[in-house]
């Protein structure tokens, strides 16, 4: 994995060095490709930093209402709340990963899973913070869409 990162970083740095050293000798396509790569890397880094910073706060806002909803609505069913919660997590992970590899059904699954999650959070959040909890859940879900 480290070799891949060094290879990608090295090629990006060598492209940038070539552009800076000989700007008049490079084609417009090389300029465009290098700037697209640099912009993509910067956006990716910003997303990773944002995800790491918000992960704990978002999980404490999103997970307990979903768990409460599932506990309330699995009473009398042959499946217990812990199993339903695990299935909810696995479904979201499958939808996210398979959606990234461009499986259309998984993208539909991801949209449905996110909407259902927000609905569960909206229903079980306390009345005083229902709107805020729903907004945080939408933001969290839309950041991953």
- The span from the CA of 30 to the CA of 111, in Å, is 37
State pTM to two decimals.
Answer: 0.57
Confidence of residue 68 (pLDDT cuts 50, 70, 90): very high
Q: Whose structure tokens read 């398979």?
A: 98
- The span from the CA of 136 to the CA of 58, in Å, is 7
8, pLDDT greater than 50: no
1, pLDDT greater than 50: no
Percent of residues, the chain, with pLDDT higher than 70: 65
Q: Whose structure tokens read 């700037």?
A: 35
List pLDDT tens digits, range 16-48.
566 556 555 555 565 566 667 777 777 777 766
9, pLDDT greater than 50: no
Q: What is the mean pLDDT of residues 59-73?
A: 86
- The span from the CA of 75 to the CA of 87, in Å, is 16
Q: Whose structure tokens read 């950041």?
A: 143
Q: Whose structure tokens read 């859940």?
A: 137
List pLDDT tens digits, range 85-106.
999 999 988 988 888 888 889 8
Cα torsion 6, 54, 111, 117 to 10°: value is 140
Token pair in block for residue 137? 């859940």
Cα torsion 30, 34, 35, 36 to 10°: value is 100
Confidence of residue 116 (pLDDT cuts 50, 70, 90): very high
102: left (phi over 0), alpha (psi -120 to 50) or beta: left
């Amino acid at each position: 994995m480290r070799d891949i990162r060094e290879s990608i970083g090295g090629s990006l740095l060598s492209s940038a060095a070539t552009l800076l050293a000989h700007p008049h000798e490079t084609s417009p396509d090389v300029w465009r490709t290098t700037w697209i790569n640099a912009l993509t890397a910067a956006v990716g880094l910003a997303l990773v930093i944002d995800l790491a910073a918000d992960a704990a706060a978002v999980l404490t806002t999103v997970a307990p209402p979903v768990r409460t909803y599932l506990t309330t609505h699995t009473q009398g069913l042959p499946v217990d709340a812990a199993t339903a919660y695990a299935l909810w997590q696995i479904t979201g992970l499958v939808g996210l990963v398979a959606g990234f590899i461009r499986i259309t059904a998984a993208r539909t699954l991801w949209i449905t899973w996110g909407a259902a999650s927000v609905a569960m959070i909206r229903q079980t959040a306390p009345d005083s913070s229902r709107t805020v909890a729903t907004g945080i859940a939408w933001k969290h879900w839309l950041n991953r869409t």
